[in-house]
Amino acid sequence: MKCGFFAIVGRPNVGKSTLLNTLIREKVSIISRKPNTTRTSVLGVYTNDKHQIIFIDTPGWQKKPVRVLDRYMNRFIDWSIEQVDCILMISDARSWQNDDKLLAESIARSPKPKVLIINKVDLLNDKSKLLKYVEHLMKQGMDFDDYIFISAKKKQYLDSLNDVLFSYCPAREFVYSETTKTDRSENFRICESIREKLLMFLGDELPYETCVVIEEYVKSKKISKINAVIYVERESQRHIILGKKGDLIKKISTKAREDLELLLGQKVYIRIWVKVSESWSNDREKLKLLGLKNN
Ligand SMILES: Nc1nc2c(ncn2[C@@H]2O[C@H](COP(=O)(O)OP(=O)(O)OP(=O)(O)O)[C@@H](O)[C@H]2O)c(=O)[nH]1
Ligand SMILES: [Mg+2]
């Protein structure tokens, strides 16, 4: 039996969480078009008859983290790299940026094997550019053990990726049961699903100043009742999220309810309040309570 731990790292928005969900065939990590969607490490497990692959999805690497929350997000990356057998760095096939180079140089200090997964190849019309991409990296002195091109969203070229992943799995007993997909609690997944709707419906800046907490979650045979709170940093933000006559929060609640019914497999009754908690993203104690601090 083979079982390996893999960290998924990369700059924001390159498709790390999409890849995790695709590989384990379940949505355990939220996705959005906006950068810095993932805020903490999220574990996902793939198991077949011979292999168990345990992935740790991480927040997008930030060169200059400003808030305490951003610094903690970068720390989840360092922590994840320490836990694993192999590091998977994800980049975007359309461009190799300076931040990719800086992150690659930073992980090069780890003695663990490193694979570069070049994602979003479906967006590239001229595939001959891929060879040039790797040549460019080599000229920059980048040193990966393997290079793989994929499309996580379109599920393309995943067989060669799986072969590489299996080859880096050490002989080890399975760590999780064969049915386990994640170690994250239902509460965490509910909060994340609601946060995903904030990223979906709000403008560019506001989602970064929000967080979601479940105040009450009662599950009976037929229905799950959820009371959730969205915290914002200022009163003016509360009004934006509520929308005119409460129409925006209604939209957010409806979409959240639909997705949560799929996740929980039963009817969901959800009420979402919006409250102000000043500077939560710079408050170490609040971040600890929210589970966004890694000790
Ligand atoms: N066309 C295309 N889009 C992709 C692919 N993979 C991911 N995306 C899109 O890229 C955007 C970002 O995807 P995420 O999976 O949230 O990216 P991430 O790296 O986890 O982002 P952070 O958590 O913010 O660091 C989403 O709109 C995805 O649908 C791909 O292979 N092809
Ligand atoms: Mg992500």
Distance 13 CA to ligand 1 centre (A): 5
| CB-CB neighbours of 235 under 10 Å | 9
Ligand nearest to the CA of 23: 1
Summarised one tens digit per residue, pLDDT across range 6-64 is 999 999 999 999 999 999 999 999 999 999 999 999 999 999 999 999 999 999 999 99
Ligand 2 centroid – CA 205 distance (Å): 17
- Rounded to 5 degrees, φ, ψ at 200 are -70, -45
Q: What is 2-167's CATH number?
A: 3.40.50.300
Question: Which two three-digit tokens encode residue 86?
Answer: 């192999």
Q: Which atom of ligand 1 is nearest to the CA of 34?
A: 24
Residue nearest to atom 16 of ligand 1 (CA): 31
153 lines ligand 1 (CB under 6 A): yes
- Bridge-partner residues for 43, per DSSP? 56
Q: Residue 295 — very low, low, confident or very high, per pLDDT cuts 50/70/90?
A: low
List the single range of 43-52, 187-196, 203-212, 250-259 with lowest mean pLDDT.
203-212
Cβ–Cβ < 8 Å for 169, 4: yes
Please answer whether residues 77 and 84 qualify as being in contact, where contact means their C-beta atoms are separated by less than 8 angstroms. no
Q: Contact at 8 Å (CB) between 89 and 114? A: yes
pLDDT at 285: 86
Kindly tell me if the per-residue pLDDT of 278 is higher than 80. Answer: yes
Q: 203 pLDDT exceeds 90?
A: no
Is 243 close to ligand 1, i.e. is its CB under 6 Å away? no
Average pLDDT, the chain: 95
Residues of each domain in the chain carrying CATH 3.40.50.300: 2-167
| Second-level CATH architecture of 186-289 | 2-Layer Sandwich (3.30)
Helix, strand, coil content of the chain in percent (nearest 5): 40, 25, 35
Q: Is 251 left (phi over 0), alpha (psi -120 to 50) or beta?
A: alpha
Give percent above pLDDT 90 in the chain.
Answer: 89
List the shell of residues around ion ligand 2, using CB closer than 5 Å. 16-17, 37-38
pLDDT in tens, 113-154: 999 999 999 999 998 899 999 999 999 999 899 999 999 999
Pair of tokens at residue 238: 């509360």
* Parts of the chain belonging to CATH 3.30.300.20: 186-289
